[in-house]
């Protein structure tokens, strides 16, 4: 067998309606549906090269060889991709059948990892597309999305483009990027990696008595968010995404053990965003499993929001992105 290589690009995504908790932990089947949009100005580029001369898989992220848990996660995902090969391909490549296929994975992000921007989403989406392409496998977008989900739940939303709905096994696009000129302005308040990863967090979701109420109310929030996107209704979007993010953090804070991702600057930014909105600026906040605040605004408000954020104590950096397209093979 010769070496077989492919490269793919994927964008992280920001959830407007959050995914928190799994009804099947191993398969990462979510407890509730979610909606996101891709962040087209931030990207992960991943190359996968299957090389018969390698004695073990090699994984590098942002120029550093990766070990331990992160390494195992990537290698396990390559095994899943290999497993998903059709029987004919497995028979034409015996190394696929007996698990001897080794790869060199090189992945680079244009944004810092582990600060609440979902590098695992774009990472597993790009890894899935690159690995499938390197093996010459042709899969549908739904199949690629479902496969990416097994690596990291939200990765399934980084496969389709624009505004994306993840219902159960895979995600689909519900509107193209041009539907609405929204921007995500991310106020970075801490550069350190979060202490409790989302995989552990999901596993704790059901220990909060609030999770069942949050899950049962999902259809209502989903519906409002879909309406807001269809009609570019910012007031509606603002009210539903802020409520949704606060509901997720209420679950996170009340799980056992309790997790609090926020720091004092997180509260200050929430207040500042609400103050801006009261003064007529179309901006709303959402927060992932970390302390950073994603300020979602209409593109014409970008300058004003950025200026306000830069003036705040505790804001170390401001990263911005507009709505991006699907993951693709280069
Ligand atoms: O895909 P994971 O396991 O990293 O979970 C993502 C969880 C949140 O970012 C907090 C919410 C979401 O829907 O993206």
Of the listed ranges 90-99, 162-171, 305-314, the least confidently predicted one is 90-99
Candidate from 15, 117, 251, 285 with most ligand 1 atoms within 8 A of CB, to mutate: 15
User: Distance, CA 306 to ligand 1 centroid (Å)?
Assistant: 25
- Arithmetic mean of pLDDT, 135-160: 97
- Residue 190 sits at the vertex; the CA angle it makes with 187 and 194, to the nearest 5 degrees, is 115
Enter the CATH code of domain 181-322.
3.30.70.890
Residue 193 has pLDDT above 80, yes or no: no
pLDDT of residue 113: 67
| Whether residue 23 has pLDDT greater than 70 | yes
Around ligand 1, the residues with Cβ closer than 6 Å are 15, 18-19, 34, 118, 120-121, 152-154, 198-199, 202, 288-289
pTM (2 decimals)?
0.96
Does the pLDDT value for residue 310 go beyond 80? yes
Chain centroid to Cα 18, Å, comes to 10
Give me the pLDDT at residue 119, please. Answer: 80
Equal fold, 4-176 vs 181-322: no
Q: Which ligand 1 atom minimizes the distance to the CA of 18?
A: 13
27-80 pLDDT per residue, tens: 999 999 999 999 999 999 999 999 989 999 999 999 999 999 999 999 999 999
1 CA → ligand 1 middle, Å: 38
pLDDT tier for residue 3 given thresholds of 50, 70 and 90: confident
pLDDT tens-place string over residues 270-297: 999 999 999 999 999 999 999 999 999 9
CA of residue 20 to ligand 1 center, whole Å: 7
Distance CA 6, CA 22 (A): 32
DSSP for 4-57 reads: EEEEEEE--EEEEE----EEETTTTEESS-EEEEEBTTS-EEEEEEE-TT-SS-
Rounded Cα gap, residues 269 and 185, in angstroms: 12
120: buried, middle or exposed (CB in 10 Å: 19+, 13-18, 0-12)? buried
Q: What is the pLDDT of residue 114?
A: 54
Residue nearest to atom 9 of ligand 1 (CA): 288
Mutation test residue for ligand 1: of 26, 150, 153, 285, the one with most atoms within 8 Å of CB? 153
pLDDT at 89: 86
Residue nearest to atom 4 of ligand 1 (CA): 198
- Domains of the chain by residue range: 4-176, 181-322
Residue 246: band (very low, low, confident or very high) from pLDDT cuts 50, 70, 90: very high
Distance CA 189, CA 263 (A): 8
Least confident of 86-90, 208-212, 228-232, 260-264: 86-90
**Architecture field, domain 4-176:** 2-Layer Sandwich (3.30)
């Amino acid at each position: 067998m010769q070496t077989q290589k492919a490269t793919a690009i994927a964008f992280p995504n920001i959830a407007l309606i959050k995914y928190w908790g799994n009804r099947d932990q191993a398969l990462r089947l979510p407890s509730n549906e979610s909606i996101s949009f891709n962040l087209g100005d931030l990207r992960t580029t991943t190359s996968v090269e299957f090389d018969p001369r390698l004695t073990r898989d090699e994984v590098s992220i942002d120029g550093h060889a990766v070990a331990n848990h992160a390494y195992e996660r990537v290698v396990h995902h390559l095994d899943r991709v290999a497993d998903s090969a059709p029987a004919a391909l497995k028979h034409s490549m015996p190394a696929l059948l007996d698990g001897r296929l080794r790869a060199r994975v090189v992945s680079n992000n244009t944004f810092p990892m582990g600060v609440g921007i979902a590098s695992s989403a774009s990472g597993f989406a790009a890894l899935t597309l690159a690995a499938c392409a390197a093996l010459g496998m042709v899969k549908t977008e739904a199949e690629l999305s479902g496969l990416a989900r097994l690596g990291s739940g939200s990765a399934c939303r980084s496969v389709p483009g624009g505004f994306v709905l993840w219902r159960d096994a895979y995600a689909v696009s519900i509107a193209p990027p041009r539907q609405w000129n929204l921007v995500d302005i991310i106020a970075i308040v801490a550069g350190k990696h979060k202490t409790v990863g989302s995989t552990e967090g999901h596993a704790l979701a059901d220990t909060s008595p609030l999770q069942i109420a949050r899950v049962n109310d999902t259809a209502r929030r989903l519906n409002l968010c879909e309406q807001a996107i269809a009609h570019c209704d910012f007031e509606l979007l603002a009210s539903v995404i802020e409520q949704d993010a606060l509901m997720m953090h209420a679950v996170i804070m009340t799980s056992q053990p309790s997790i609090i991702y926020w720091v004092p600057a997180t509260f200050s930014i929430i207040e500042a965003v609400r103050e801006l909105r009261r003064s007529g600026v179309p901006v709303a906040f959402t927060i992932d499993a970390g302390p950073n605040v994603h300020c979602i605004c209409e593109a014409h408000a970008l300058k004003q929001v950025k200026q306000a954020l830069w003036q705040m104590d505790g804001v170390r950096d401001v990263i911005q992105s507009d709505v991006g397209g699907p993951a693709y093979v280069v």
